[in-house]
Amino acid sequence: MGFAVSDELLGTVVPIVVYWIYSGMYMCLGSFENYRLHSKSDEEEKNLVSKLTVVKGVLFQQLLQAAVAILLFTATGGHAGASSQQPSSFIVLASQFVTAMLVMDTWQYFLHRYFHENKFLYRHLHSRHHRLVVPYAFGALYNHPLEGLLLDTVGGALSFMLSGMSPRTSIYFFSFATIKTVDDHCGLMLPGNPLHIFFRNNSAYHDVHLQLYGSKYNFSQPFFVMWDRILGTYMPYSLEKRAEGGFEARPTKEFKED
């Protein structure tokens, strides 16, 4: 049991460490003006919350989520619907990853969309995330704490249980999900980024959603875009070069005027 508890604790703590290391790497690349979706001045002028407030908000949310996750593991013995054995087959491991990704995407799409459609929830919860009009890496998890618990903690627990992954596998899965979430908010379109090659849901895709004209579209996160396409909330866009450097994700004209 001691070994299992250790893996469960790591599955909670390691993604937090990964979040700050990976977002820190992106912040070091923030001056790459030729690959930014918004200029540095836009980042400073358009956002409605200071970076210090964002850091404190994310840290508080992570501590709260970690406490809740540890309590859940303790209450359930760490094996509620999940396997305590590390799979020896790559096919089994891959199927668990894909299942967890689909579960997380499904949970987050419908809840995220409801946060937008319910005016009370948007005003009091989800609007906090949209204060970052121009997103950056370490603001990826800047949400209302309650939204963080519902969207990320509950979504993560469902992914863990329904995929049947072991606590050790969850360390890798949640670390990967954290990297993907940070990447979606980094504000950069770097050439050769493998996450942009393998996933259509990327920093430009989410940037469209964070703009006023895209608030009714591109709800999918963090992996695939299937629910947006199936349910008609997909906003097509093109990636155009800005005269002053960098890129701009421009939606098609008919959507922008909707």
Q: Give pLDDT, residue 10.
A: 84
pTM: 0.90
Tens of pLDDT along 9-57? 888 899 999 999 999 998 887 668 889 999 888 988 999 999 999 999 9
**Cα Rg of the chain (Å, integer):** 18
Tens of pLDDT along 169-190? 999 999 999 999 999 999 999 8
Q: 65 pLDDT exceeds 50?
A: yes
Q: 256 pLDDT exceeds 60?
A: no
Tens of pLDDT along 120-176? 999 999 999 999 999 999 999 999 999 999 999 999 999 999 999 998 899 999 999
Say which residues have a Cβ less than 8 Å from residue 74's Cβ, sequence separation at least 6. Answer: none
**Between vectors from CA 15 to CA 10 and to CA 19, what angle results, nearest 5°?**
150
Structure tokens at 117: 């459609």
- C-beta separation of 97 from 198 below 8 A: no
Q: Closest Cα to residue 180, out of 165, 162, 196, 191?
A: 196
